[in-house]
Structure 1
Amino acid sequence: MSSPAPSPASSSASSPVIRLGLRDWDHVVPLASGLVDVAGFTVRVDSRDTTPDVLAEPGLDGGETSFSRYVQARAAGDDRLVGLPAFVMRGFRQRCVLVRVDSPLRTLAQLAGARVGLTGWPDSGNTWTRALLRAEGVDLTGVTWRVGPLTAGESGKDRLGSRPLPANVSAMAEGETLEGELAAGRLDAILSPFMPAELFTRDSRFRHLLDDHRAAERAYWAATGFVPGIHLVTLKREVVEAHPALPAALLAGLERSKRRWVERRRLLADTTPWLLHELTESAVLFGDDWMPYGAESNAEMTRAFCEELYAQGVWPEPIDPAVVFPDPALATVAVAALSSPLSAV
């Protein structure tokens, strides 16, 4: 999924080359492998183990970016990144609250006044998870929050952000981990977008707080109509200025990649024992697309996220959702580019 690094937005004989840094999400693989193209451009995808800092890498034209950090930048008037309403990472957060197997805690409301660890204070996923606690009446200022890595050896991540932390939020000491503190009983619960390895074993020390997080997530969908967005694709401003057609073309290419992935997974479903059931159930519940692209399809989710950043004190003032995706060309995915049926992409 990677190739030698040219300078950003360099041109081949036929079309400009656009380099993106993305983690290897399944639905991006058709684009990354060349099975899906982007009209007028040659897209090269660098596969990353962690989310890249797009602005800090001169060899990138764009890539995967935290929704929280992107929205905060736009709210501050920083438009060095142009966000595409294409959320390559999105997912329900009810599953992201873990406790010890012997914990008496079974509901989000029971976390009131608890000691809770989390992987990053301003992070998109943790912001959505804290929103669930707020919806259950939990006063976030009454929780003792500790911020640190899930497991030993994790480094290179900004976990605290650039703004002053609330008085009840502190960083964990060097060498401490969320896993270790939870297991030792010094934390009552942890919030993590990724699961500790031992959760996939029969003798795990940890379990999900909610006994049936799937039911809670279905109820969330029924109430909100969206699955929370966590990371999106961004492009550098100078690249967009050099290639004004790129954002809409890339958005359409990402949509085609996603559609091809869904179509192929429905055909080649034997990659996990129960994938076919998951695909069928998801289609019945969500319709043909549970992760729609385009600003209009994500307007309610974007509005809710902006409100949470302010309500939780991550950002000091209300955020106008209109600053997040201001380009009218990104309101919807270009229909002409998607006129062929699913089976043809």
Structure 2
Amino acid sequence: MSTKLSIATYSYEHTEALFDGRVKIDGVDATFATEPLVSDIFRNMLDGRYDVAEFGLTYFLRTFDLQDAPFMALPIFPNRNFRHSAIFVNTAAGIEKPQDLAGKTIGEFALFGHDAGVWPKGILSDEYGVTVDQCRWVIGGTDHPIPPFDWIPQPVPEGVEVRRTADGQTLGAMLESGEIDALISVDVPQALLNGSTKIARLFPDYESVERDYYRRTRIFPPMHIVAVRKERAHHTDALRAIYRAFVEAKDLAERTYVRDASKQHMSLVTPWFSNLFENNRRLLGEDWWPYGLGANRRAVDTFLRYHHEQGLSKRLLNSRDIFVPEFLDT
């Protein structure tokens, strides 16, 4: 008898085969869903709508400080990104190098410690000596006002100044006007995309910086995991089938790029993509988007440390605390 489960993930190219049925989940009667905003998946998972769902790492970890943590994780990482490129500065703020961020007022998208913020703040601390308590923080939407994400715990460490934007304010406009000195955001400010000279990236040649970061650390930063409700965590066979299906769907997407290299990726509209693809394979390897804990343990442990150091987790968690035990050997 198959296990009936509702599963939600964002619609990526590496999850597409789950939605269109090319990849089946053995022994599971799965209902797949997605949402217009990936954060809506997180919120609806927290509200009990799904059995298994993609979850932002910080949103997931914050639930471990609730009285009864409701989730465990599967080592599936559907969203990952290098994040040196997520730090933006006002060009008149006198910020020429990372150390210049100390003492500045910095905006951050959505909440203090969003997934795309935990990583760069941790890197700023590890590599440049800039810690969160050295800065003032303003939380809000980048180009559109957003309400507080009050459906998830929002801890602020003692001694760190954090405030929200006023009604109607956006961080992108505040950065361009100089009301804030810098911004850490998953979203690129529209003004920068429109060619504003008042906003720049902290690391102008961010690709070279991020490639160097990977060479030194072997970390391709994960942003999201897949969470399962604790009352479903004992369905080990079903969860292993889900894990295998996510891996297969991801592998299908990777194999498409490998196969199309012989035709110089002529199905894509991006020129010189084949050169980028080959450079990425040389650096990141044949499986450049790995699932499983073994290939991601260093990245996971680093994020867990950053999360604790930034005052977002009451205690330093480890992999055994957060992953379904049967997946610790993946």
TM-score by length of 1: 0.84
Q: Is 1:318 the counterpart of 2:316 in the alignment?
A: yes
Indicate which of 15, 20, 23 corresponds to 1:33: 20
Q: Would you say 1:182 and 2:184 are equivalent positions?
A: no
Q: Which deviations, in whole Å up to 9, do the C-alpha atoms of 1:174-207 show, x marking residues without a partner?
A: 2111111101101111000121334333456432
Does the C-alpha gap of structure 1 residues 277 and 204 become closer, same or farther in structure 2, counting only changes over 3 Å?
Answer: farther
Corresponding position of 1:285: 283
Say what the alpha-carbon RMSD is for the aligned residues: 2.4
* Alignment check: 8 A CA contact 2:73 2:324 kept: no
1:87 alignment partner in structure 2: 77
Deviation at 1:35, TM superposition (A): 1.4
CA distance in 1, matches of 2:185, 2:124: 14
What SS is found at the alignment partner of 1:118?
Answer: strand
- 2:31 alignment partner, SS class: strand
Partner of 1:129: 120
1:23-81 deviation line (CA, Å, top 9, x unaligned)? 22221111121111222224332121222124444442221112123223346674421
Equivalent residue for 1:108, pick from 89, 98, 101: 98
| Gap regions ≥5 residues in structure 1 | 1-13, 333-345
Matches within 5 A, 1:43-82: 43-50=30-37, 51=39, 52=41, 53-74=43-64, 78-82=68-72
Letter of the 2:95 counterpart: L
Compute the displacement of 1:222 (Å): 1.7
Contact 2:76 2:226 in 1 (8 A): yes
Q: Secondary structure at the match of 2:30?
A: strand
1:147/1:159 contact within 8 Å kept: no
The number of residue pairs the alignment matches comes to: 318
Instruction: Give me the whole-angstrom Cα distance separating, in 1, the residues matched to 2:152 and 2:18.
Output: 33
For the residue of structure 2 that corresponds to 1:90, the secondary structure is coil
**Which is worse superposed, 33-42 or 95-104?**
95-104
**Corresponding residue number in structure 1 for 2:242:** 250
Unaligned stretches of 5+ residues in structure 2:
none
Match 2:193 to one of 196, 200, 209: 200
- Of 109, 121, 142, 2:134 maps to 142
Q: Which amino acid aligns with 1:45?
A: F
Deviation at 1:253, TM superposition (A): 0.7
Identity of aligned residues (%): 22
| TM-score where L is the length of structure 2 | 0.87
Q: Does 1:233 align with 2:226?
A: yes
Q: Provide the C-alpha distance between the structure 1 equivalents of 2:284 and 2:67, rounded to a whole number of angstroms.
A: 35
Q: List per-residue Cα deviations over 1:9-33 (Å, max 9, x = no partner).
A: xxxxx74443222222221111121
Query: Quick check: 1:154 aligned with 2:150?
Result: no
Task: Summarize deviations over 1:254-278 as a string: whole Å, max 9, x none.
Answer: 1111110112234255142343232
